A and B are shown apart, each in its own frame.
Chain A
Amino acid sequence: MDAEAYRAPPRQAGAAISASGRLARSVLIALLLLAIFALSALAVQPDEVLGDPVLESRARAISAELRCMVCQNQSIDDSDAPLARDLRLIVRERLKAGDSDGQVMDFMVARYGEFVLLRPVMSWRNALLWAAPVLVLALGALAAFFGLKRRRAVAPQRLSADEEARFKALLAEGEGAPPEGR
Chain B
Amino acid sequence: MSTPDETPGQMPGPVRPRRRLWLVALPLVLFLALAGLFFSRLETGGDPSRIPSALVGKAAPTIALPPLEGLKGPGGTPLPGIDLAALAGKPTLVNVWASWCGPCRDEHPVLMQLAKDGRFNLVGINYKDAPENARRFLGQYGLPYQAVGVDPRGRAAIDWGVYGVPETFVVARDGTIVHKFVGPLTAEAVNGTLLPLIARLSGS
Contacts and interface: CB of A to CB of B under 8 A. Distances in A.
Asked whether A and B interact, the reply is yes
Interface of A: 69-70, 72, 82-83, 86-87, 90, 109-115, 154-155, 157
A154 B49 contact: no
A157 B11 CA distance: 12
Interface stretch (B51-59, B117-125, B186-194): B51-59
B54 A157 contact: no
B54 A70 contact: no
B9 interface: yes
Contact of B2 (A69, A87, A113, A155): A155
In the A-B complex, the 9 residue pairs with the smallest Cβ-Cβ separation, listed nearest first, are: A113-B54, A69-B163, A111-B161, A157-B9, A112-B161, A115-B51, A86-B154, A154-B7, A112-B54
Interface of B: 2, 4, 7, 9, 11, 48-49, 51-55, 128, 153-155, 158-161, 163-164
B2 A83 contact: no
A45 B164 CA distance: 22
Contact of A154 (B4, B160, B161): B4
Given A113-B53, A154-B11, 19 more contacts: A72-B48, A82-B154, A83-B158, A83-B163, A83-B164, A86-B153, A86-B155, A86-B158, A109-B54, A110-B54, A111-B54, A111-B55, A111-B160, A112-B163, A113-B52, A115-B51, A154-B2, A154-B9, A155-B2
Q: Find the residue from A115, A154, A155 having the highest chain B CB count within 10 A.
A: A154
A90 B158 CA distance: 10
Contact of B164 (A70, A111, A154): A70
Contacts of B55: 111
Contacts of B48: 72
B60 to A, nearest CB: 12
A96 to B, nearest CB: 16
Given A112-B54, A113-B52, A155-B2, A87 B158 contact: yes
Contacts of A86: 153-155, 158
Contact of A113 (B7, B160, B161): B161
A109 B161 CA distance: 9
A123 to B, nearest CB: 14
B163 A70 contact: yes
Contact of B158 (A70, A111, A113): A111
Contacts of B155: 86
Contact of A83 (B4, B154, B159): B154
A69 B48 CA distance: 11
B51 A113 contact: yes
B113 to A, nearest CB: 29
Contacts of A154: 2, 4, 7, 9, 11
